[in-house]
Amino acid sequence: MNLLPDIRAFIKDVPDFPKPGIVFKDFTPLLADARGLALAVELMANPFRGVQVDTVIGAESRGFIFGIAIAQALSAGFVPVRKAGKLPRKVRGITYDLEYGTDRLEMHADAIASGTRVLVVDDLLATGGTLDACARLVHEGGAVIAGLSVLIELEALGGAKRLEKYGKVHSVIRC
Q: Are 99 and 123 in contact (CB under 8 A)?
A: no
Among the listed residues 35, 49, 60, 62, the single catalytic one is 62
Amino acid at 129: G
99 is known as an active-site residue: yes
The C-alpha angle 58, 62, 66, rounded to 5 degrees, equals 60
Amino acid at 117: R
Among the listed residues 42, 99, 136, 140, the single catalytic one is 99
Q: What share of the chain is helix, strand, coil (3-state, %, to 5)?
A: 35, 35, 30
Phi and psi, residue 47, nearest 5°? -65, -15
Rounded CA-CA distance 136/130 in Å is: 10
92 is known as an active-site residue: no
Rounded CA-CA distance 39/57 in Å is: 20
Residues assigned a catalytic role: 62, 99
